[in-house]
Each structure stands twice: as C-alpha cells, then as structure tokens.
Structure 1
Amino acid sequence: MKQLLILLACLLLQNMSYALPTRKVLVNLKPSESLLSGEYVSNIHGDSYNFLCVLYDSITHDQTIVYNGIRKFTAYNIELYYIDLDDFEKSIYQYSTEEGECINIENEIYGPYDRIFYYHDLFPMWYSGSSLPSTHYINRHEFSFKQMGEDFFHYNDGTIYKINDFKSDYISPNKKHKAILDESKRMVTIDGSNYVLPIPVDEIISKSAPDLCLFDDGTCYYVQDVIYVCDNKDFTKDTYCFYITPSEVKAINTEIEYFDFDTHEIKLLNNRRDNNDSHNPRNFWNLPKEIYSEEKGYWFINYDFYLQDKSKRHSFFAKWDHDYILIDGKKYNYACPIKAFYDNKSNSFRWVSIEKNQIVMYNYSL
C-alpha cells in the first residue's frame, strides 16, 4: 500500500510539472513607467524571446524603446514604422525634439523638420522577424516633410525636391542601374532601353511624382496616379501600376493583383500575406480596442485571445475582464495577457503579461 501511494504521488508531481508554465522576465519597469497602449511586438517563436515594446514615463513624459530587454532609445512622441526583431539597426521610427521632428531610418537620422510624414504606396508597413518574409528592397529612405511652410520630398538616393517638382533620374541602391523618367510620365528609360507605359492618351496624369522603385537587378516597380479636374481642383481618378522587366512592361490589375516585393512576382490578392495575417506579430488592423467599463468607471484595453495548437486538440482562452486564463478548459490564476501566441516549434502556448513592475513571458508546454 505504501509503495502504491508513493507511485501515485510521483505521478501527480509529474503531471503538475507539465501543467505549470515557466516564467521569464522580459522588462523591469520603473515605478513611473507603463506600457504605451498598443505598442508591443513579440516574437511568434518562443525560444528566441525577441520582442519590442515602448514604455511611457508619467513623470518625464518620455517614451522609451525597449528591444530584447535593452533600453535602446528615449524621446518624446515615438512613432514606430518598421521594426526588425533580428536587427534593431534596420528599424525605422520617428520622434520629437525641441527643434522639431526627426526620423531614424536604418540608423541614419534625418531632421529636425517642422513635420515629417512617413508613408507611401511602396512601403508595406510590416514588422519583420525570423518567422516572416523580409522585404529585401523598398524605398525605405523616402519621406515627405514640411519646413518653413513649404512641402518637400526626400528620395531614396538622398535628393530633395519640392512637392510636385519633377524628378527625372533614379538610381538603384547598388548604384548599378539608372532610370530616367520622361516629362510626359508615359515612358521610362532603364539602362538605355525605353519602356512605354500603357496609360491611355486621354488620361490626365497627376502632377505629383510617381512612386518609382528601381531594384538592384535593374527591374522597376512604377505607380502613377491619373486625375480628373473639377472646379479647377485635381482629384485622383485611378492609379496605374506596372512592373518593368528587360523584356516587357507588366500591368498590374490592383483590384485582383498586387506586386510582391520579396519575390518580384505579381500575385492574386486573395493569396496575400498582409497586415491582416494572424502570423504578423503586430496586426495594425486588429489592435485591441478600448472599451468603457460602467462598473469600474474608466476605459479598458479589450484584450481577447483564443488560440489552438496545430492538432486542434488544445486551446488557450483569455479575456480582459477575467482574472484567470483557460487552457484546455482548466482555470489558471493568471491575468489576461497583452500578447499570446501558439509556438509551433516547441508545441506550447506563450503569453506576455504585465505584473506590477515587470513584463513577463509564460510558456506552457503541451
């Protein structure tokens, strides 16, 4: 009987060891610091613990980028555009100083300017990591800015033009290829070869500069707006997109197709891995929403997670208004996390929580 009790106790302890998650501290917070709402990016494979977050200090009003546990940068009004979870120096972020706004693009700082606007059609706005395709070339160093009441555009090659000024010459990043845009904006010359763009002659081409992306292999992605005029004002009517190769000009039907910057292929939209993809570590269109609690009298971030493993036999469930989580229907006394994911490599559920002055990651092996 004694041996049976010992065996049962050992089995119970073994099951308990599998049932309890492991805990790892990612960030230690100062008493005045909190996580900036919505600004958290985590790995989706748990073994590397790659992560990024932005902290807010309620005393100094500073914001701090924490990258894999290291405080990398502190400033006012930090805005993230591109974060590479494997190499911080590839990241792109904007911030404010007493003199104006600055932007750090791949470890190069531009500004200060009165205002900076970092968005254009060529930039897919992905947060990259080892589990995601990396965008091998985009016009990362292109942005518009305002200075002394005037609007300017900074191009990838370092040249600066006033908005709507005509730019004719474009150079590939490796400096081996050159594109020349005709003033009609209906022909592009690449390395001495002319390519006529099939834009109907009755279309009025916008005065604004096209989005032109000349790749290191000499091919080119080209986006041009056409307009209609009403009351002496220009309005965008349509957008033409082309992929130019040495052999042809390929028109892209943007209603059903898109250009893949990684493979240089034209693909169907319904196969696209974009910001709505659940594999993206930060999903722009599905960020947690703030909701108001009548009972508590203030706003909450509406975190809500439901995960399954690859076999669909295990589940993880957490909601913002519950002080526990469910794993396979069993209650565990952990608060709702700010991030949760299933790690296919280790076959485990992982989640990140804020606990007093620490941001921690838990691992539950299945």
Structure 2
Amino acid sequence: MIKKYILLPLLLIAATFVYAQPQRKVLLTLKKGEILYYAEYASNMRINGHKFTCILNDTLNDKKIFIHNGERKVTASEIYAYNINPDDFNKCVFEYYNNIKGTDKQQHYLSLYGVNYGPYEGIGYYYETDKYNDYTKQTNIDYALPHEFSFTLMGEDYFHYEDGSILDAKETRYEYQSPNKQHEIHIDHSKRFVTLDDRRFIIPIPMDGNCSKYDPRVCLFDDGTCFYEQTCEMTPGIKTFQFFITPTAIKQLIVGKEYYDFDKHQVLPYKKDADYSGSIDYMLWPYERLGWDYKNHELVTTYNFTLQDKSKRHLFIANWKYDYVLIDGKKYGKHCPIDAFYDEDTNAFAWTTIEGNEIVLYTFDLN
C-alpha cells in the first residue's frame, strides 16, 4: 500500500510536467536553398484550424515561391502579394512575373480572387495590404473594386474596369452601370455633377479645386447606392474627397471619423481602438514589434513580443537576443519566434519559429 501511495504522486507530477510543455507542429519543410523571403508570413491567428501563407526565396534558382498552407502554389521570378487570405487561396490577390530569356522583358500576371489576368508587359495595381485586413477600417474604394488595374500591351497602356470593360489609359470613363444593370450613373465632364438614374446631384467640392487631371473612382451597387471618390488639385497640395450617394441624397464622408463599409453598404463610425484579435496577422504588423540591429556586423531583423492572456495573469515574452521564450518566467524552446499571438478561443499562446529547414508552430495551453 505504501508503494502505491508513493507512486501516485509521482505519476501526477510527471503528467503535469508533460501537460505543461508546448506542442510542436511543423508547418513547412524548406528545400535546399529556400529561405523565408523578407518575412512575408501571415497567420490567421487561431490555433484550431491554424493556417498560414508565406513567400520563399529559392536562392539556388533565383525564384520566388508562394506557399499556401504547405502547398507550393506559384513559382515565378518575382511575386507581390496584395491580399493574403490564409483560409482560402482563391481569396488571395497577388501579382507575379517571369523573365523572358535573352531579353530584359517580363511576362506579368495578376491573380484576383481566383481570376487570372495576363500575360502583360506590365501591370499597375494600387492595393496596399493594410487596406484589406481589419486592423485599420479606412474608406477605400479599392476594397470594392479589386478587378480595376492598368496594364501594358505592345507598348500601349490600358485600364481594366470592374465590369470587364477596357479603355485606353488616356480616356476618362463617364458612364457606369450597376452589376445587375438596373442602375446607371453619369458623370459630368466638369466632374462637379453626377446623375444617378434620373436624379442629378452636385458634387460638393470647393470651387478652387482642379479635378481635371484625376479620374473619378466609382462603385455603383445593385441597390442603387454609389460610392464616389474624386481627387483634385487644391491650394496647397492634393486632396481626395469621398461621397456616398443614394437615390435621394449625397453625403460627404468625414476622414478619420467615419468610413464606408462595402459589405453593409453603410457609413459607419471609425473606431480607432477596435479589437480585431483573431483576424489575419501579418508578420510585418504592428511595426512596434519589429526593428533592425547589427549582429556579427550584419543588419538583421529584430523580433520582440509581449503577450498576455485575457485574465492578465499570464505573460509571454520573446526577444531577438534570446534563443527561447519566457512564459510566466519559465524558458521554453530554443529559438526566438518570428511571429506570436494569443488565441482567446483555446486560451493558449502560439508562436512560430524557423528551425533549420523547418517552419514550426508551437502552442502552449494555459488551461
């Protein structure tokens, strides 16, 4: 009986020790010569169903590789990711090109939500990644018109509109239809008036603004509402005006205080400090956790993380100068992470490391 009583506490201690260790999962095994390219890594910031994307640099073949959840989707001379969606590859937006052997030219391609365009001699696409995610809710017509871009063929520049129409880049478009073809909007050549269906509206732009050099950005929806953006030369500088037009009224948006939600078709108050935890996390955001420093006379990216759980009783700390992480003062692992987050659904810390030829996800249960 005495032996049993002694054995039971030992088993409990051993079980507790194993339970307290972080769980290790290999996300990707790199091939010879492959390295993570400029920290282009994104996570969906959750442990259950965790997914990720990244771009690799194949240093042996001078190629870039777009990785989506362990699958090598695109290999090209260069890749530019505009919208990263770890859950669905067909919701990613990216541009890539291949060099034409024996020339200084390239073949450019654009992939927009599963629709592929190209090859072109060049592409002009104006998205920025932070306009897609939920960290900064900003009024931006690009969100609603992803299929608008300029391109070059046989030395001439063209513009591709959302509805598939193509105009010479020197032309200005003045007529638009809603996707269901039930509504039309006409823009006056002065860019001071618009006619939505049969109702005319004055665009309230100051008279000293010169709008002739900038084409309007127009998004007309099936319900007959319209988002309208116009850039003008002012004294001094350049200013962009944004409006929401309904069949009965026109409203100018107040920058920094409200934004247009393209999903709800509503003007909503801008919340600077809104909580977007659980959304997409780009490793280069927020910038406060990244820096630059010299190590062995080489410029290196520095990673620093400080996380807490929802109870504020647990603390996760990582610093690029240390080859481990601290959780509640205890050391774990042998590498500084390149990314880290707290998952509220599972009440756990998670962090990503590069270990030799493996990209690894660790999770630490706080329950």
Same-fold call, TM cutoff 0.5: yes
Partner of 1:302: 302
CA distance in 1, matches of 2:38, 2:256: 34
**Counterpart secondary structure, 2:131:** coil
Alignment of 1:334-345 (within 5 A): 334-345=334-345
Structure 1 unaligned regions, length at least 5: 130-134, 230-234
Partner of 1:312: 312
Q: Percent of pairs identical after alignment? A: 40
**Counterpart secondary structure, 1:334:** coil
- TM-score by length of structure 2 reads 0.86
Partner of 1:10: 11
1:77 aligns with 2:78: yes
1:110 aligns with 2:117: yes
CA distance in 2, matches of 1:38, 1:193: 51
Partner of 2:243: 242
1:155 to 147, 155, 161: 161
1:351 aligns with 2:351: yes
Report if the CA contact (8 A) 1:277-1:283 is conserved.
no
Distance change in 2, residues 1:293/1:207 (3 Å): closer
Partner of 1:37: 38
Partner of 1:182: 188
Q: 1:223 Cα shift?
A: 0.8
Distance change in 2, residues 1:116/1:182 (3 Å): same
Report if the CA contact (8 A) 2:306-2:318 is conserved.
yes
Partner of 1:66: 67
CA distance in 2, matches of 1:149, 1:68: 38
Residue 80 of structure 1 aligns to which amino acid in structure 2?
A
CA distance in 2, matches of 1:106, 1:118: 14
Structure 2 unaligned regions, length at least 5: 101-105, 136-140
CA distance in 2, matches of 1:192, 1:272: 41
Partner of 1:232: none
- TM-score by length of structure 1 reads 0.87
**Counterpart secondary structure, 1:94:** strand
Report if the CA contact (8 A) 1:84-1:127 is conserved.
no
**Counterpart secondary structure, 1:213:** strand
Report if the CA contact (8 A) 2:174-2:189 is conserved.
yes
Report if the CA contact (8 A) 2:41-2:283 is conserved.
no
Report if the CA contact (8 A) 2:324-2:333 is conserved.
yes
Alignment of 1:1-366 (within 5 A): 1-97=2-98, 98=100, 99-119=106-126, 125-127=131-133, 138-147=144-153, 150-228=156-234, 236-271=237-272, 279-282=279-282, 286-287=286-287, 289=290, 291-294=292-295, 296-366=296-366
Residue 359 of structure 1 aligns to which amino acid in structure 2?
I
Summarize deviations over 1:109-146 as a string: whole Å, max 9, x none: 2233333221169x9632489xxxxx996101011234
Distance change in 2, residues 1:141/1:187 (3 Å): same
Distance change in 2, residues 1:322/1:20 (3 Å): same
Q: 1:15 Cα shift?
A: 1.4
- Of stretches 278-287 and 351-360 in structure 1, the one that deviates more from structure 2 is 278-287
**Counterpart secondary structure, 1:341:** strand
CA distance in 2, matches of 1:344, 1:136: 31
Report if the CA contact (8 A) 1:77-1:96 is conserved.
yes
**Counterpart secondary structure, 1:209:** coil
Distance change in 2, residues 1:284/1:145 (3 Å): farther
Q: CA RMSD in A?
A: 2.8
Distance change in 2, residues 1:29/1:95 (3 Å): same
